[in-house]
């Protein structure tokens, strides 16, 4: 019996020694999971499958929904080209208690400026712009579309044989103008002698006018085309008929004409909306300006691999992207 007690005593002491010598398990902090469902609404000027500006925000919400699951609920109103209709939808969403209301169109600024003060607990965001109007519950977001435009322009300069390139723009403002200016600069950084013909048709939605402008450029010898906004499907169709290469922006346009679309600058607004969601959780409802660019992944150049581009063109595109990110390439 005494021996048994001694053995148990020794085991107890050894056990205590082992416990004392064993490192404590590192403290872990569980990720904070919001019980509240985040309710987001957005309005767009055109269809959410327009292969351009409106689709870019729809694609972003699909990504975010995949990440957040049941913690994100979103609704939208599309084809809100008439500003008064968009304003009514924005106000209605705010009245219904949506946490974040996004006005995805630079034409919606004055409406947002009027509506936001009536709903001080609602987060509003709009783009593409940098103006928050000094309002504490309005964020602004823009795309540094001149960056992707420059990359597309460099590739276009390497591919053109006629040395004539056509550009179909909507209205000379916002990310559309930035893209066009960046594209032209990219072309001329490779070959200043290339004739880049730019036409602004004065509309974001007029497909027929975009088709006419494209036809004019093609008749003048253009073998490369590009353009911005939702009306470009008309121009892409004309480029496809003529066998001219097309460079896209805002959304990936390869699926529309995979035989002629070389590359697309794709907006990834989810990069910005993640920040806006996080700021709301911290109690910051507005006053911030965000930019989607190549460095933060808010812009990505999507290459159409099906065209089998020469490796030298791909290498130059990648070199240009890295140069813009590093700051060694300055866009005029």
DSSP, residue by residue, 15-80: HHHHHHHSPPPPP--PPP--SSPEEEEEE-SS-TTSSSHHHHHHHHHHHHHHHHGGGEEEEEE---
Whether residues 307 and 286 fall in one domain: no
Whether residues 173 and 313 fall in one domain: yes
In a domain, 316, yes or no: yes
Whether the per-residue pLDDT at 315 is higher than 70: the answer is yes
Whether residues 275 and 288 fall in one domain: yes
In a domain, 284, yes or no: yes
Q: What 3-state DSSP class applies to 286?
A: coil
User: Which domain, by its residues, includes 149?
Assistant: 145-266+300-326
What average pLDDT score do residues 69-94 get?
A: 98
Q: What is the pLDDT of residues 235-265, one digit of tens each?
A: 999 999 999 999 999 999 999 999 999 999 9
Distance CA(44)–CA(131), nearest Å, equals 18
Angle at 30 between CA 26 and CA 31, to 5 degrees: 135
Distance CA(117)–CA(286), nearest Å, equals 12
Whether residues 201 and 150 fall in one domain: yes
C-alpha 258: how far from chain center = 21
In a domain, 3, yes or no: no
Q: What is the pLDDT of residues 94-143, one digit of tens each?
A: 999 999 999 999 999 999 999 999 999 999 999 999 999 999 999 999 99
Q: How confident is the model at residue 183 (pLDDT cuts 50, 70, 90)?
A: very high
Whether residues 152 and 246 fall in one domain: yes
Whether the per-residue pLDDT at 158 is higher than 60: the answer is yes
Q: Across all residues in the chain, what is the average pLDDT?
A: 91
Using CB atoms within 10 Å of the CB of residue 60, give its burial: 0 to 12 exposed, 13 to 18 middle, 19+ buried. buried
Whether residues 208 and 252 fall in one domain: yes
Structure tokens at 5: 């007690």
In a domain, 6, yes or no: no
Sheet of 164-169, strand order: 195-200, 164-169, 224-227, 245-250, 261-267, 299-303
Sheet of 38-43, strand order: 72-77, 38-43, 100-104, 123-127, 138-143, 289-292
Whether residues 150 and 119 fall in one domain: no
Distance CA(252)–CA(241), nearest Å, equals 20
Whether residues 185 and 211 fall in one domain: yes
Q: Give the model's pLDDT for residue 34.
A: 52
Task: Identify the CATH number of the domain in which residue 316 sits.
Answer: 3.40.50.2300
Q: Give the model's pLDDT for residue 8.
A: 35
In a domain, 29, yes or no: no
Q: Which of 53, 56, 55, 316 has its CA nearest to residue 186?
A: 316
Q: How many structural domains does the chain have?
A: 2
Whether the per-residue pLDDT at 19 is higher than 80: the answer is no
Q: Give the model's pLDDT for residue 35.
A: 64
Whether residues 59 and 195 fall in one domain: no
Structure tokens at 206: 């007029």
Whether the per-residue pLDDT at 329 is higher than 70: the answer is yes
Whether residues 109 and 166 fall in one domain: no
Q: What is the pLDDT of residues 208-238, one digit of tens each?
A: 999 999 999 999 999 999 999 999 999 999 9
Residue 136: C-alpha distances to residues 32, 123, 202, 261 (Å): 26, 9, 33, 42
Backbone angles phi, psi at 267, to 5 degrees: -80, 135
Please identify which residue in the block is written with the tokens 């008749």.
219
Whether residues 203 and 318 fall in one domain: yes
In a domain, 312, yes or no: yes
In a domain, 26, yes or no: no
In a domain, 25, yes or no: no
First to last CA, the chain: 93
Whether residues 215 and 90 fall in one domain: no
Element (H, E) at 152: helix 145-159
Q: What 3-state DSSP class applies to 129?
A: coil
Q: Give the model's pLDDT for residue 15.
A: 39
């Amino acid at each position: 019996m005494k021996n048994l007690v001694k053995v148990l005593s020794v085991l107890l002491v050894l056990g205590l020694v082992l416990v004392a010598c064993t490192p404590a398990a590192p403290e872990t902090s569980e990720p904070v999971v919001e019980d509240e469902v985040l309710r987001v609404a957005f309005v767009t000027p055109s269809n959410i499958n327009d292969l351009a500006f409106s689709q870019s925000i729809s694609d972003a919400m699909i990504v975010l929904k995949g990440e957040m699951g049941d913690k994100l609920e979103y609704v939208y109103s599309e084809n809100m080209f008439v500003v008064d209709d968009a304003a009514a939808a924005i106000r209605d969403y705010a009245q219904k208690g949506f946490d974040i209301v996004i006005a995805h169109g630079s034409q919606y600024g004055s409406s947002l400026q009027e509506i936001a003060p009536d709903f001080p607990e609602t987060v509003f965001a709009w783009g593409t712009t940098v103006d928050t109007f000094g309002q504490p519950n309005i964020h602004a977001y823009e795309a540094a579309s001149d960056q992707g435009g420059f990359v597309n322009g460099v590739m276009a300069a390497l591919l053109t044989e006629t040395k004539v390139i056509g550009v179909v723009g909507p209205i000379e403002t916002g990310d559309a103008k930035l893209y066009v200016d960046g594209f032209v600069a990219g072309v001329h950084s490779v070959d200043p002698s290339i004739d880049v013909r730019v036409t602004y048709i004065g509309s974001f939605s007029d497909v027929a006018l975009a088709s006419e402008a494209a036809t004019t450029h093609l008749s003048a010898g253009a073998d490369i085309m590009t353009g911005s906004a939702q009306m470009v499907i008309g121009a892409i169709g004309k480029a496809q008929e003529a066998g001219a290469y097309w460079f896209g922006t805002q959304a990936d346009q390869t699926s529309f004409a995979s035989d002629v679309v070389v590359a697309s600058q794709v907006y990834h607004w989810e990069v910005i909306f993640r920040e806006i969601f996080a700021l709301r959780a911290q109690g910051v409802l507005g006053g911030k300006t965000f930019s989607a660019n190549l460095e933060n992944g808010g812009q990505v150049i999507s290459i159409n691999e099906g065209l089998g581009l020469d490796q030298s063109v791909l290498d130059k595109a990648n070199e240009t992207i890295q140069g813009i990110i590093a700051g060694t390439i300055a866009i005029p």
